[in-house]
Structure 1
Amino acid sequence: MAQEVSGVIARGKGLPVELTTIVIPDPGPGEAVVRVQACGVCHTDLHYREGGINDEFPFLLGHEAAGIVEQVGEGVTDLEPGDFVVLNWRAVCGSCRACKRGKPWYCFNTHNAAQPMTLKDGTALSPALGVGAFAEKTLVHSGQCTKVDPTARPAAVGLLGCGVMAGLGAAMNTGNVGRGDSVAIIGCGGVGDGAVAGARLAGAAKIIAVDTDPRKLEWAKGFGATHFVNAREVDAVEAIKELTDGFGADVVIDAVGRPETWKQAFHARDLAGTVVLVGVPTPDMKIEMPLIDFFGHGGSLKSSWYGDCLPSRDFPMLVDLYQQGRLDLDAFVSEEIPLDGVEAAFEKMHKGEVLRSVVVF
């Protein structure tokens, strides 16, 4: 029987979000209903509200979530009611060209629930990143559920569902940071600090945090940054080079996603270094550079999609590191809020006052 629950939607571009009643259908083949315990407020949710992703309003927002499986549909064999899961938006298909080549983290045909969740009048909702977890319960594809240690704190581990995983993976997976490397991270919000933590886990010798906000540089220190550059006061490229014997960093991660920060990353890396773009640009942004600049540098220019993660591989491992005290996911949780606090959380995010506000049910 379909269930009615409370959820937060964006009804139109730029409009304040609404707390309303949504309808969750029984799970169909390959689907699962999850009772949400916690969901982070991510900048991507704000992009949805502002029409920066697409115009398929109304959106059911929220996607950085953890919860308990309540029901499973026909054919689901790897989940059962009572399982504690972190939700993800990369439920790999196993059959696309990326999956067949052994690179499922690039899966081009990821699974989502086939049935829509709706408003009471039958209006279909577009779930953010195929998840839609600013709700007491949500309907997802079973592949979007990754089982992890059930004793872990939902508000902390749910953040692996997007931003924190994107940052960790940008360093550990895409950037392939190794022991003794020098790493610079431009932008020290939730994703950037995830990259700082990932570089530390990977054994980087020098982790340079770059931001224009002293408060964010202080946050980065807590996650393992060893050196700090206030880009409002000094030239970031020159500062990074000065800290790396004039050569530039082995890996530079752009966690902002603007033309000017990408150019800083490009010029701040060593000649054979790696640039990783994990900050999400808007469609109108462009870069103009002399082609000779690209020819004159070796190394790699990479984009990091969701930290190039494979949830079934990465989530349990990272939760185990969290439980061992080696990855401080709790430090990403700036505040716990009720479901009706999402709009206020967007404002705090916009002002740079929080790493993550987390809705806790």
Structure 2
Amino acid sequence: MPQTVKGVVAMAEGAPVEVVDVIVPDPGPGEAVVTVQACGVCHTDLHYREGGINDEFPFLLGHEAAGVVEAVGEGVSDVAPGDFVILNWRAVCGHCRACHKGQPQYCFATHNAQQKMTLTDGTELSPALGIGAFIEKTLVAAGQCTKVADADPAAVGLLGCGVMAGFGAAVNTGGVTRGDTLAVFGCGGVGNAAIAGGHLAGASKIIAVDIDDRKLEWAKKFGATDVVNSSNVDPVEAIRALTGGFGADVVVEAVGRPETYEQAFYARDLAGTVVLVGVPTPDKQVTLPMIEIFGRGGALKSSWYGDCLPSRDFPMLVDLYNQGRFDLDAFVSERISLGDVESAFDKMHRGEVLRSVVML
């Protein structure tokens, strides 16, 4: 029987979010209802509220979440009621050309629940990244549920987006391994996750770049060996000086701006790799001399969701967290309620938090 629960909805572009009643239907074939225990406040949610993703208002916000499966629909076998899961926005199809090539982390046909959650007047909601988890219970495709070992939902739920994106940008996309040098532009949640990933992978030197000294202090806690405040010095020259004049093997750009991408491009070593994981707005463009692209070799890559495969990466990272080897707790700046999401957006915009986490 459909349930009425409380959820955080962006009703119109730029308008403050509201806590409203939401109707959650019973799960249909291939779907699951999940009792949400915790959900991180990600910058992508703010992009939705500001109309930066699309104009399909009203949006049910929230997507970095963990919780317990309450019910599943017909044909669901991978998860069952009572399973502790992290929600993901890459429910692989198993049938597209990427999946057929054995590369499901690039699945081109990821899917969401077919039914819609609604307001009490029947207005259909657009769930953020196909999830919508600032809510007591949410309806998702069963493939969006990844079963993991029991752990603090506030910490491990962050693997659902930002932490996985940053970690994967360094490790999966960038291929950072032992002895490599890594530079990261932008030390918010995603950038610091890239730093933590490089540290875990054995990078010999990790250089954090930002314009905020507070964020650079955070970066040190995640494994940065050196920090550069690019408002005071040329970050390209600083990175070269810290790498014997060569530049870094892998440079992760976690800002999404043309000027920082250009700096990342010139801060890499010959045959090095640049990874773009910062999300640019549609109007942003970058111009680089083709002779420099040709002459430097290497690779210019984009990282979408850290090139992750949730069924592979989430359980591994939760195990590392439970072993004390991957400090997800350090990303949790505060624990808040559903009614505090709007103020959390303000704190995030001011750079005061890595992640505010809604507890339900």
- TM-score between both structures, scaled by the size of structure 2: 1.00
SS in structure 2 of the partner of residue 296 of structure 1: helix
Query: What is the rounded CA distance, in whole Å, between the counterparts of 1:285 and 1:228 in structure 2?
Result: 27
What does 1:128-147 correspond to in 2, within 5 Å?
Answer: 128-147=128-147
What does 1:280-295 correspond to in 2, within 5 Å?
Answer: 280-295=279-294
- Structure 1 regions of 5+ residues with no counterpart? none
- Structure 2 regions of 5+ residues with no counterpart? none
SS in structure 2 of the partner of residue 183 of structure 1: strand
SS in structure 2 of the partner of residue 8 of structure 1: strand
Render the CA deviation track for 1:13-41: whole Å, top value 9, x for unaligned: 10000100000000000000000000000
Query: What is the rounded CA distance, in whole Å, between the counterparts of 1:108 and 1:122 in structure 2?
Result: 31
Aligned residue type for 1:278: V
- Cα offset, 1:178, TM superposition: 1.0
- In the alignment, what sits opposite 2:152? 153
- In the alignment, what sits opposite 1:2? 2
- In the alignment, what sits opposite 1:193? 192
What does 1:1-361 correspond to in 2, within 5 Å?
Answer: 1-150=1-150, 152-361=151-360
Aligned residue type for 2:131: V
Range 169-178 or range 289-298, more displaced: 289-298
Aligned residue type for 1:295: F
Query: What is the rounded CA distance, in whole Å, between the counterparts of 2:28 and 2:236 in structure 1?
Result: 53
- Cα offset, 1:8, TM superposition: 0.2
Query: What is the rounded CA distance, in whole Å, between the counterparts of 1:287 and 1:298 in structure 2?
Result: 18
Aligned residue type for 1:43: H
Query: What is the rounded CA distance, in whole Å, between the counterparts of 1:293 and 1:55 in structure 2?
Result: 39
Query: What is the rounded CA distance, in whole Å, between the counterparts of 2:188 and 2:24 in structure 1?
Result: 33
Query: What is the rounded CA distance, in whole Å, between the counterparts of 1:289 and 1:108 in structure 2?
Result: 29
Query: What is the rounded CA distance, in whole Å, between the counterparts of 2:99 and 2:261 in structure 1?
Result: 29
- Cα offset, 1:289, TM superposition: 2.1
Aligned residue type for 2:254: A
- Cα offset, 1:46, TM superposition: 0.1
Aligned residue type for 2:305: Y
Query: What is the rounded CA distance, in whole Å, between the counterparts of 1:36 and 1:69 in structure 2?
Result: 9
- Cα offset, 1:175, TM superposition: 0.3
- Cα offset, 1:291, TM superposition: 1.5
Aligned residue type for 1:217: L
Aligned residues: CA RMSD: 0.5
After TM superposition, the runs of 4+ consecutive aligned structure 1 residues lying more than 6 A away are none
